[in-house]
Structure 1
Amino acid sequence: MQTSTYNKAIVYWLLSGALLILAMVIVGGITRLTGSGLSIVEWNLISGTLPPLNQEAWITAFEQYKQFPEYQKLNTHLTLEGFQKIFWWEYLHRLLGRLVGLVFILPFLYFLITKQLTSGLFRRLLFILAQGVIGWLMVKSGLVDNPHVSHFRLAAHLSLALALIGVILWTVADLTSGKVLKLKSHKGTKLKRLAILVLVAVLLQIILGAFVAGLKAGFSYNSYPLMDGEFFPAHLQGYLTWQTTIENGVVMQFAHRWIAILVLLAVTLLWYRTRPAELPYTVRTLARSLLLTCLIQVALGIATLLLAVPVSLGVLHQVVAVVLFAFAVLLVHRLRLSVA
């Protein structure tokens, strides 16, 4: 889809969509950390756009909430005022979801009707519509008998958001890259492979982070680098099976801790190998940005753990993860174009 001329309106539209998805990730993180994610027990696409507008409507919404496991098992102490506080974050999250839908669908129809979309771009944009379905399945998983959002569906939800951002950034890079100098070398091929490996590792680490968040594993073992004085908690050794490992928050936190260091080492190696002056300036700049972001992310992760996941740091850690992923995607794209 690479082209030397491009429609700026389409590029701005796609970037605005990516920013809105990032906003969804931010508000979603706040919603999760404040325990607000299951406060709205019905999802009416049209009528649900408006929040409760009077005392009677608030009481009705609260009574509906009381029928579900989160209230019955965790929040029986909650008052109407407390319910209103958790309601607003989830309401904003869903309102943003509707806005994202409008921002994508309406301009998409306009560009389609005016024949400004290529077949490749058309196929990529259809992919976005799956997000709402996954979002509902994620919420629904906590409305049965377990008063928590499934960490698997939380990871799927976040992964799809990342996929959408990645597709958008890749498409924008395709549209705006223009003519790129090709560098033919065996070393360049290895560099591309390393960049792809880094991207996969970053994505794996983010998914592990979603598991940690979904299992609320960040609220225990708030020490670093050891876990309460042990490399790996001794009481778990010998009691884990393959089936229970992925459901165990302590194991997920352990994996998230040390894979972060492996990702940092891989990013550092990638940066080191992109230093030669014959590589395009954009490649070297993206590699430096990737390394700086990775260093910030590791520091944020440690601080978030040591302080037992304050909302501000938890959300910032999630945002920087998206930025790290974005730089990794753009670097793979640029190397794909620059190295023949």
Structure 2
Amino acid sequence: MPFDLTPMPRSGTAGTVHREDLAVGIWLLGIALMVLIMVALGGATRLTGSGLSIMEWRPLTGWFPPLSETEWQRLFDLYRTIPQYAAVNAGMDLAGFKEIFWLEYLHRVWGKLIGVAFLGGFITLVMLGKVRRALVPRLALLFALGGLQGFLGWFMVASGFFPHRTAVSPYRLVIHLGMAFLIFALLLGTALSLLSREPTAAPPRELRRGVLAVGALAVVTMLAGGFVAGIRAGFDYNTFPLMDGRLVPAGYLALEPWVLNLFESIPSVQFNHRLLATLTLAASAWLAVTAWRHGHTAGGRAALLLAGMVATQYVLGVAALVHVVPVGLGTLHQTVAVLVLAAFVNALDRLRAPASRLPR
């Protein structure tokens, strides 16, 4: 299955890692780190309202910022045609436009750099004979997903240019964010499968099931958080654990049809995110107890790390909420979500059953 997140089978026997796999694995870890930084930049771009400042999509060009006052003025004039300018930034001068432009510019250029680093690294490693044939389809898929992610980024941004909209579509935002999570998970999972030694014994079934449960809940919570960000639900009900003095807020499930409450109702979207996060935290506490019972094994330590990252993310989420989502805390919260995903992928790798040698 092309979207299977299961790590690639190891090429070595138990206790060994091939030198060729080491080179490819380190390269993929570097790309995964670049994706992590990209997610952080995306969070900061969204929270500062910078994402709609560039109204042109130039995927192959666009490496350089405006180099003349005339070009700056042209881009500023374009920005002044969209609803966000009139509703949010009316009266902004060129100097103010430059302030929001630079973060979106950095975000886009960083995405291009990821593409160059991936394609350049792949070509170099193939020429050096370090890429196994069985790995090529996975790497081709990753490159294709990266290209698709660039298109999805523009697809998301373009939704903010519609009449009567001052921000991007929350649906498109979640699709873009979810694709970033998928790409990161595939990169990290593939890298770890190449860098880790082949396990010699089957992992405890109870522990692996616990990791899968916590990881699945965490991913659903992250996607629900995308809708919180998309409709700016975090700027309301800034108390915890109650929402406006109630456990379940007034207006919960008030929209018709009811399914819209999952995506467009501020009280419902925020409550659901809180509920999912709390369920994930409770599951991670159970996972920590289970991991502790299995002693100091690699799988047990990885499960404990996952539980710890979930708890850290929960605390950051509460802090961001009660402080009305400042840019720093909000960006950190989105970034640590990727680290929770990393801990999940790592735990799955450490709890993987022995596999046969992968052919070259």
TM-score higher than 0.5 here?
Answer: yes
Corresponding residue number in structure 1 for 2:226: 210
How far 1:338 sits from its partner (Å)? Answer: 6.5
Change (3 A) 1:55 1:240: same
Tell whether 2:31 aligns with 1:14. no
Match of 1:224, SS state, is coil
Structure 1 residue runs of 5 or longer lacking an equivalent are: none
Change (3 A) 1:205 1:338: farther
Corresponding residue number in structure 2 for 1:258: 275
Structure 2 residue runs of 5 or longer lacking an equivalent are: 1-8, 356-360
Q: Where do residues 1-340 of structure 1 align in structure 2 (5 Å cutoff)?
A: 1-4=9-12, 5-6=17-18, 7=20, 8-128=22-142, 129=144, 130-145=148-163, 146-183=165-202, 188-236=204-252, 238-245=254-261, 246-277=263-294, 281-337=297-353
- Alpha-carbon distance in 2 for matches of 1:194, 1:237: 31
How far 1:238 sits from its partner (Å)? Answer: 4.6
Change (3 A) 1:276 1:236: closer
- Alpha-carbon distance in 1 for matches of 2:339, 2:305: 10
Change (3 A) 1:235 1:10: closer
How far 1:315 sits from its partner (Å)? Answer: 0.8
Q: Is the 8 A contact 2:29 2:188 kept in 1?
A: yes
Q: Is the 8 A contact 2:76 2:97 kept in 1?
A: yes
How far 1:337 sits from its partner (Å)? Answer: 2.5
How far 1:160 sits from its partner (Å)? Answer: 1.2
How far 1:133 sits from its partner (Å)? Answer: 1.9
What amino acid does structure 2 have at the position aligned with 1:74? V
What amino acid does structure 2 have at the position aligned with 1:179? E
- Alpha-carbon distance in 1 for matches of 2:50, 2:254: 36
What is the TM-score normalised by the length of structure 2?
Answer: 0.88
How far 1:94 sits from its partner (Å)? Answer: 0.2
Task: Please list the CA deviations of residues 79-128 of structure 1 after superposition, one character each: whole Å capped at 9, or x if unmatched.
Answer: 11111110000000001001001000111122234443224421222233
Q: Is the 8 A contact 2:284 2:306 kept in 1?
A: yes
What amino acid does structure 2 have at the position aligned with 1:2? R
What amino acid does structure 2 have at the position aligned with 1:99? L
Change (3 A) 1:46 1:181: closer
- Alpha-carbon distance in 1 for matches of 2:354, 2:289: 17
Change (3 A) 1:106 1:327: same
Q: Is the 8 A contact 1:275 1:284 kept in 2?
A: yes
Q: Is the 8 A contact 1:150 1:214 kept in 2?
A: yes
How far 1:199 sits from its partner (Å)? Answer: 1.2
- Alpha-carbon distance in 2 for matches of 1:87, 1:36: 6
- Alpha-carbon distance in 1 for matches of 2:200, 2:352: 11
How far 1:194 sits from its partner (Å)? Answer: 2.4
Name the structure with the higher helix share. 1
Q: Is the 8 A contact 2:202 2:353 kept in 1?
A: no
How far 1:9 sits from its partner (Å)? Answer: 2.0
Q: Is the 8 A contact 2:24 2:194 kept in 1?
A: no
How far 1:325 sits from its partner (Å)? Answer: 1.0
Q: Is the 8 A contact 1:271 1:287 kept in 2?
A: yes
What amino acid does structure 1 have at the position aligned with 2:105? Y
- Alpha-carbon distance in 1 for matches of 2:253, 2:48: 32
- Alpha-carbon distance in 2 for matches of 1:208, 1:271: 24
What amino acid does structure 1 have at the position aligned with 2:53? S
- Alpha-carbon distance in 1 for matches of 2:326, 2:236: 13
How far 1:171 sits from its partner (Å)? Answer: 0.9
How far 1:66 sits from its partner (Å)? Answer: 1.4
Give the alignment's Cα RMSD to 1 decimal. 1.9
What is the TM-score normalised by the length of structure 1?
Answer: 0.93
- Alpha-carbon distance in 1 for matches of 2:152, 2:228: 19
Change (3 A) 1:259 1:54: same
Task: Please list the CA deviations of residues 175-216 of structure 1 after superposition, one character each: whole Å capped at 9, or x if unmatched.
Answer: 1222313137xxx32332222121111110110111100110
